[in-house]
A and B are shown apart, each in its own frame.
Chain A
Amino acid sequence: MSTVSNIGAIARREYTTRMRTRSFVIGTALLVIGVVVIAFLPVIVRAFEGSSTSRVAVVAPTEALGERASMTITSLLNSSVVGSSDDDAPDFVVTVVDDLAAARADVLAGSFSAVLGIERSTAGALEFTLYTNDSATGKTAGLLQQGANAIAIGDRLDRLGVASVDQASLFAPAEFGVQWPDPERTDPIRDTMAATIGQDMLAFGMTILIFMIIIMYGNWIAMSVVEEKSSRVMEVVLNAATPFQLLTGKVFGVGAVAFTQYAAILVTGGLSLLLQGQVASAVLGEAGTSAALPEGLTMELLLLFVAYGILGFLVYAVLYAAAASLVSKMEDVNMVVMPMTLVSTGGYIIGIYAAMGLLDIRAAWIVALSQVPLLSPFMMLGRISTGVAAPWEIVVSLGLLVLFIGAALWLAARVYAAGVLLYGQRPGLRAVLRLVRTGM
């Protein structure tokens, strides 16, 4: 039978059997549910909070102070810096009331979320008391404390005789810039919260996904190889197919399973993000906001993620299969795949630390390691998403990865051919090298 059709048949069996296992179905379902929940988390949180507007009552000794408090809280706390980004509904609605006792009763009844009581001490300073059932250290309390400080400062300026027109310029925020220490460095600095989180999280998330594919499905391939050996199916199949066909069929079959699972996750995740606006408006009755893709997510980055994911999976998969072919008992699998586990975990940790800024992503040793075929799938995405990888570096690392896959496949096919008929003790390194050299 031809090589291609046998690889196809082997991959197909691997795929259909894996897809049917209960653990795969349940695991994928849980992951999909998890992705949907995370994607809709903002909507869900707001739905549970009901209206996101806090109604606050202010009780002040004078009407003028009440006005000032109302204006300060409304303008300061509803600004985009501290408040939530959607400007349809204000975060704080402030009402000036006269009767503290009645207002406290209203908080208990639920018509206000808090009452801010203002008194003037005999020394002339303002004193604030917050009456609320919410957490004393929660967001509302914290924001109202900021508001109280601003009211108090304005009041002190009043008493010092500064006109309120001048006060506005006093409160105007200062210009504040951040720059790289390295004068040569020209890539844009991330000076907004959204950009920082967006880029860090993107590289972080993509690297985690690649690491998970490699560890999880690499082990799956290893167990599948040992299962065939320990159940002695190997000899039956070996009469029909060559070790090379078995190896590649298995890698493609399990790879297709991985692809299916990730496609399910990515599609539901993408749909969730796209539909978020509609769902939010349906559930919350708000005007639909447009789909917000994470900042920094470009088509190039997405394609490179797919490329590094697939190539990284392939290189590790053939090595996992070859290693597993050397043992015949399930208990020995972990032991024999240890080198791959160590290398991938090492690359992953360095890659994550560099992407998060815990290691200097521009350091020479990180740049060098990010070209190493077994490490580049974990390290390049961080460098690419932060914009510090030159295009030629990406091309070289992908090229090296492809070349290394070819070499790994050649080596793995020889180890596999010799290993699959090997039963009993695990052979030492010398014996493995001899097997690779001499064939069977």
Chain B
Amino acid sequence: MTLVLDGLRKRFGDVQALDGVGFTVRPGEVFGFLGANGAGKTTSMRIVLGFLKPDAGTVTWQGQPARAWPRRTWGYMPEERGLYLRMPVLEQLVYYASLYGVPRRVARQEALRWLARFRIAEFADRKAESLSKGNQQKVQYIATILHDPDVLLMDEPFVGLDPVNVALLKEAFVEMRDRGKTLIFSTHQLEQAEELCDSVAIIDHGHIVTAGSTRDVKRSTGHQVIRVATSGDGDLAWLRSLPYVTVTRPGNDYTELRVDAGSDPQAVLRAAMARGGDVLRFEVADPSLEEVFVERVGALDVEERTLAAGEARR
């Protein structure tokens, strides 16, 4: 009862876009697909949706090949937003839904409900080109879910949205998850993924680096993070003298440390107390997804690490 990608390989000309991509998404969860531009996120999604044929590997949903499921099973929001610019918003939403077999009357009602919910009801009869980018994106999201798909695949859904609209979209995600839908979205904004996702997969150069529940992935490095503040701060020499500790973020309020795998974080607390003075703050946490990502893949360099050129060339 899961979405399983297994051993997907895809080559475009000289570029090996996917080199054995495999992971599992459980039904009803929110799944984050993390990677730099060109890492293979879009290609993977297009293969799941059947737009592209993999050179090798399979995609199954609930044990059946993904392509065998009716189209209305899937909702897809491409990274590049696409609407008929000269067509009124409501009319085109009804059109998209009708392609999945949703009766026009039902589609109309649902579309109006979602437009109101996203606070853009007044644009229903306007042409899409008269809407702002953010509002177009909300229309695009409605187009993705209007036929009530079981699996939603969204490519970078948060890009270009202001904080208010990000919050609206997150609420909508949660609602879809509560309805039992499976949500998969790709992003390179790791804090969004950390907040929303039950599970994540990190992809780099067509390989899955790590995948699993968000908590497991965060713990997968073995490191732990400590945030500590003591009276008479400013002198970090004592921390740097600890052999199994790396100062990752010196700050005014507290200092953030990374503790090597296998070492006991409590040793840092003992060292702080042994130093005399007060311990004002001491917190042990898992590393953030961003830290995991940086450690496993390297810093996200959106501009340079792009295979997009290669993908365009195929």
Q: Is the CB of B100 within 8 A of A240?
A: yes
CB–CB A237/B46 < 8 A = no
Chain B's nearest CB lies how many Å from the CB of A91?
A: 57
Residues of A within 8 Å of B279, CB to CB, are none
Residue A96 interfacial (CB < 8 Å): no
| A239–B74 touching, CB < 8 Å | yes
Is the CB–CB distance between B78 and A232 below 8 Å? yes
Within B65-102, the residues touching A (CB, 8 Å) are 70-72, 74-78, 80-87, 95-96, 98-101
Other-chain contact of A239, B53, B71, B86, B98 (Cβ < 8 Å): B71
Q: Check B238 for interface membership: any CB of A closer than 8 A.
A: no
Asked if B143 is at the interface (CB within 8 A of a chain A CB), the reply is yes
Residue A146, interface by CB 8 Å = no
CB of A17 within 8 Å of the partner chain: yes
Query: 1/0 contact trace for A222-234 toward B, CB 8 Å?
Result: 0000001001111
Is A123 located at the chain interface by the 8 A CB criterion? no
Let me know if A236 is at the binding interface, CB within 8 A. yes
Min distance, Cβ B137 to any Cβ of chain A, angstroms:
12
| Residues of A410-440 contacting chain B, CB below 8 A | 421-425, 439-440
Instruction: Indicate whether A400 reaches chain B with its CB closer than 8 angstroms.
Output: no
| B105 beta carbon closer than 8 Å to chain A | no
Partner of B83, one of A10, A233, A241: A233
Residue on B nearest A241 in the bound complex, by CB? B99
Chain B residues with CB under 8 Å of A9's CB are 95, 98-99
B159 CB within 8 Å of chain A: no
Whether A233 touches B84, Cβ cut-off 8 Å, given contacts A421-B52, A425-B312, A439-B53, is: yes
Determine whether the beta carbon of B101 is less than 8 Å from that of A5: yes
B270 at the interface (CB under 8 A from A): no
Which residues of A226-274 are within 8 A (CB) of B? Answer: 228, 231-241
Contact indicator A231/B76 (Cβ below 8 Å): no
Interchain CB contact under 8 A, A10 and B99: yes
Separation of A238 and B77 alpha carbons in the complex (Å): 11
Min distance, Cβ A181 to any Cβ of chain B, angstroms: 59
A168 to B311, CA, bound (A): 91
A17 to B83 alpha-carbon distance, docked (Å): 14
**Are A231 and B99 in contact (CB-based, < 8 A)?**
no
Within 8 A of A (CB), among B199-228: none
A238–B99 touching, CB < 8 Å: no
Answer whether residue B140 sits at the interface, using C-beta atoms and an 8 A cutoff. Answer: yes
Decide if B49 is an interface residue (CB 8 Å cutoff): yes
Contact partners of A55 in chain B: CB under 8 A? none
Check A237–B80 contact: CB distance below 8 A: no
Contact B101 A1 (CB under 8 A): yes
- B80 contacts A232, CB within 8 Å? yes
Q: Are B312 and A1 in contact (CB under 8 A)?
A: no
Q: Which residues of A contact B70 (CB under 8 A)?
A: 1
A6-B85 contact, Cβ under 8 Å, with A236-B140, A239-B71? no
A421:B99 contact, CB within 8 angstroms: no
A254 to B77 Cα, complex, angstroms? 27
Are the CB atoms of A232 and B82 closer together than 8 Å? yes
Given A239-B71, A440-B51, answer yes or no on A1-B83 (Cβ-Cβ < 8 Å): no
Interface CB pairs A-B, < 8 A, 28:
A1-B71, A2-B101, A6-B99, A9-B99, A13-B87, A17-B84, A17-B87, A228-B82, A231-B82, A232-B78, A233-B82, A233-B83, A233-B84, A234-B82, A235-B51, A236-B76, A236-B77, A236-B82, A236-B83, A236-B143, A239-B76, A240-B71, A240-B147, A241-B99, A422-B314, A424-B312, A425-B313, A439-B53
Chain B positions near chain A (C-beta within 8 angstroms): 46, 49, 51-53, 70-72, 74-78, 80-87, 95-96, 98-101, 140, 143-144, 147, 312-314
Rank and list the top 3 A-B pairs by shortest CB-CB distance, nearest first. A232-B82, A424-B312, A240-B99
Using CB atoms and an 8 Å cutoff, list the residues of chain A in contact with chain B.
1-2, 5-6, 9-10, 13, 17, 21, 228, 231-241, 421-425, 439-440
A240-B71, A240-B72 given. 15 additional CB < 8 A pairs? A2-B101, A5-B101, A9-B99, A228-B84, A231-B83, A232-B78, A232-B80, A233-B82, A236-B77, A238-B51, A421-B46, A422-B314, A423-B312, A425-B312, A439-B53
